[in-house]
């Protein structure tokens, strides 16, 4: 069940409710979007870490518009159905329930009606490394992480869940070598055939590995580990 709260023209959703102090703290951060990150496959831009009162370290994700329209307005979206943050929040909760490691969703928020801005708040995963950098800095750990990742991707495939931008930059590895998949924005669910989903995952993964000149074992392990 999702608890919906409104505060100062913002609409919040969470599993247990946030309270006015937490909502006020979040709003202050919403108005200060982070600068774009640079680097090789560091995932999508628009996130930053904060210390939430009562909840601890959390990550705020700002949903930024891409394409030509981003030159006019990077942060405003047209409301066709639920906000992008709400859809990702609900999907992350479902994905956790099927046994795939993702950031724990805390809340989502939006402001506006027909045209809106939106944010997702997840619990921070401490001391993680990005898989894309690990492939060159710690290749042996990266090999194990990719095998672990493939097991989780197979679970997504079996539940007909398509992460539309799966690449090594959207994979985090913690000190216990647990693998987490991030950035399920615009993910697709439904009845697409499993082998078609698998082909998409491999195509997107291989394109990223080639584009950013990552080691070939990154492709080989994924090809040999996915079930299709």
Which member of 127, 165, 174, 183 is catalytic?
A: 165
pLDDT tens by residue, 109-164:
999 877 889 999 999 999 999 999 999 999 999 999 999 999 999 999 999 999 99
Q: Is the pLDDT of residue 24 over 70?
A: yes
35 and 81 co-located in one domain? yes
112 and 159 co-located in one domain? no
58 and 75 co-located in one domain? yes
pTM above 0.85, yes or no: yes
Instruction: Determine contact, residues 23/79, Cβ cutoff 8 Å.
Output: no
Q: What range does the domain containing 51 cover?
A: 3-123
68 and 46 co-located in one domain? yes
97 and 198 co-located in one domain? no
pLDDT tens by residue, 52-101:
988 999 999 998 765 444 433 455 555 567 789 999 999 999 999 999 99
Give how many domains the chain has, as a whole number. 2
196 and 221 co-located in one domain? yes
8 and 113 co-located in one domain? yes
Is 165 one of the catalytic residues? yes
96 and 197 co-located in one domain? no
45 and 139 co-located in one domain? no
111 and 134 co-located in one domain? no
118 and 180 co-located in one domain? no
**Among residues 89, 123, 157, which one ends one of the domains?**
123
According to the model, what pLDDT value does residue 148 have? 98
pLDDT tens by residue, 158-184:
999 999 999 999 999 999 999 999 999
Exposed/middle/buried for residue 14 (C-beta within 10 Å: 0-12, 13-18, 19+): buried
Q: Could you tell me how many residues make up the chain?
A: 228
**Among residues 83, 107, 123, which one ends one of the domains?**
123
**Among residues 88, 106, 123, which one ends one of the domains?**
123
Q: What percent of the chain has pLDDT over 90?
A: 76
173 and 215 co-located in one domain? yes
């Amino acid at each position: 069940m999702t608890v919906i709260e409104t505060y100062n023209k913002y609409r919040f959703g969470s599993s247990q409710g946030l309270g006015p102090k937490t909502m006020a703290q979040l709003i202050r951060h919403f108005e200060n979007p982070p600068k774009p990150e640079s680097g090789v496959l560091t995932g999508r831009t628009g996130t930053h870490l904060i210390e939430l009162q009562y909840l601890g370290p959390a990550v705020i994700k700002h949903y930024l518009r891409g394409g030509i329209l981003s030159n006019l307005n990077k942060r405003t979206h047209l409301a066709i159905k639920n906000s992008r943050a709400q859809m990702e929040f609900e999907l992350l909760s479902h994905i956790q329930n099927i046994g795939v490691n993702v950031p724990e969703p805390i809340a989502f928020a939006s402001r506006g009606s027909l045209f809106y801005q939106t944010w997702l708040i997840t619990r921070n995963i401490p001391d993680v490394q990005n898989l894309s950098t690990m492939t060159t800095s710690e290749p042996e750990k990266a090999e194990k992480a990719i095998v672990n990742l493939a097991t989780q991707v197979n679970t997504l495939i079996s539940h007909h869940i398509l992460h539309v931008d799966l690449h090594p930059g959207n994979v985090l590895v913690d000190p216990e070598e647990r693998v987490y998949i991030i950035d399920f924005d615009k993910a697709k669910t439904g009845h697409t055939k499993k082998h078609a989903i698998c082909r998409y995952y491999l195509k997107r993964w291989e394109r990223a590995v080639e584009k950013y000149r990552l080691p070939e074992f990154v492709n080989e392990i994924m090809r040999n580990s996915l079930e299709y």
